[in-house]
């Protein structure tokens, strides 16, 4: 089987639990470290699926690799090679597919409830899940691109996920591990301290909630990942 390509945009924002899930399923994957200058493939057909992780940059930044990534996403969708995006990855998907990306009404950092949006498409991805606590770290968000279906929302961000066929874009971070959360809180302590938002939690609050909330979110992530891998090229 061809590997799943996992694109990393920042050293601290790797695949996390998604990689653990692929390993448990015996599915091969290859990390493409854009942050380390690794070349972006020109053609997605050598991969079973494409996965884009998060990052502190904006889709609207003039970074030299962004046009190549947008092109790769469009090609994958045209070829029906499944694409999965987490936070920045979801924003890249939205932009590639014709949606805008811009400031969210407030910054979201930490744990916060998300709710599924009732539709047949939502049920296909989430089953009977109606709400869960997800991890957030974003100041921008995506509009739903043409043809896609909004399937997740929260109090502070209307568009937390969309689906388009076998492709899934998430604004929230369901891939988190305890180590990632600890690292992000250390690296992002200044951002947290300067944020003025009802949706930003202190590191102490985040760490206090993690033992209770991480495992249930992981179960939701595995539900989504399980649905996504059904579309992988074999």
Which positions ≥6 away from 61 have C-beta within 8 Å?
Answer: none
Structural tokens at position 122: 């939502």
Structural tokens at position 167: 């492709």
pLDDT > 70: what percent of the chain?
Answer: 100
pLDDT of residue 86: 98
Structural tokens at position 231: 């579309």
| Mean pLDDT, all residues of the chain | 98
CA proximity to 116, closest of 25, 224, 231? 224
pLDDT of residue 227: 98
Reported confidence tier of residue 45, pLDDT bands at 50, 70, 90? very high
Reported confidence tier of residue 234, pLDDT bands at 50, 70, 90? confident
CA proximity to 174, closest of 215, 141, 145, 206? 215
Q: At what angle do helices 178-187 and 203-229 cross, to 10 degrees?
A: 130
Cα 136 to the center of its chain, rounded Å:
10
Q: Three-state secondary structure along the chain?
A: CCCEEEEECCCCCCCCHHHHHHHHCCCCEEEEEHHHCCCCCCCHHHCCEEEECCCCCCCCCCCCCHHHHHHHHHHHHHCCCCEEEECHHHHHHHHHCCCCEEEEEEEEEEEEEEEECCCHHHHHHHCCCCEEEEEEEEEEEECCCCCCEEEEEECCCCCCEEEECCEEEECCECCCCHHHHHHHHHHCHHHHHHCCCCCECCHHHHHHHHHHHHHHHHHHHHHHHHHHHCCCCC
Per-residue pLDDT at 198 exceeds 90: yes
Please write the tens of the pLDDT for every residue from 51-83.
Answer: 999 999 999 999 999 999 999 999 999 999 999
Structural tokens at position 153: 């929302």
Structural tokens at position 172: 């929230």
Please write the tens of the pLDDT for every residue from 79-102.
Answer: 999 999 999 999 999 999 999 999
Please write the tens of the pLDDT for every residue from 105-158.
Answer: 999 999 999 999 999 999 999 999 999 999 999 999 999 999 999 999 999 999
Going along the chain from its start, the domains and CATH numbers come out as: 4-229 (3.40.50.880)
Rounded CA separation 179/95 (Å): 30
* pTM of the entire predicted model: 0.97
């Amino acid at each position: 089987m061809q590997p799943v390509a996992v694109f990393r945009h920042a050293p601290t924002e790797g695949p996390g639990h998604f990689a653990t899930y692929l390993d448990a399923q015996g599915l091969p994957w290859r990390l493409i470290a854009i942050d380390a200058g690794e070349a972006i493939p020109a053609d997605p057909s050598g991969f079973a699926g494409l996965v884009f992780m998060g990052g502190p940059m904006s889709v609207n930044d003039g970074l030299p690799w962004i046009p190549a990534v947008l092109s790769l996403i469009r090609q994958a969708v045209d070829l029906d090679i499944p694409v999965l995006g987490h936070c920045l990855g979801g924003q890249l998907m939205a932009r590639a597919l014709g949606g805008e990306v811009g400031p969210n009404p407030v910054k979201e950092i930490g744990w916060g409830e998300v709710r599924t949006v009732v539709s047949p498409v939502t049920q296909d991805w989430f089953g009977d899940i109606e709400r869960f606590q997800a991890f957030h770290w974003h100041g921008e968000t995506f509009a739903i691109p043409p043809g896609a279906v909004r399937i997740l929302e929260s109090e502070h961000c209307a568009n937390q996920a969309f689906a388009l066929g076998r492709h899934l874009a998430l604004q929230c971070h369901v891939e988190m591990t305890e180590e990632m959360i600890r690292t992000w809180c250390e690296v992002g302590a200044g951002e947290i301290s300067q944020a003025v938002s009802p949706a930003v939690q202190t590191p102490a609050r985040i760490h206090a909630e993690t033992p209770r909330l991480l495992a249930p979110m992981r179960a939701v992530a595995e539900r989504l990942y399980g649905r996504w891998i059904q579309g992988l090229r074999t």
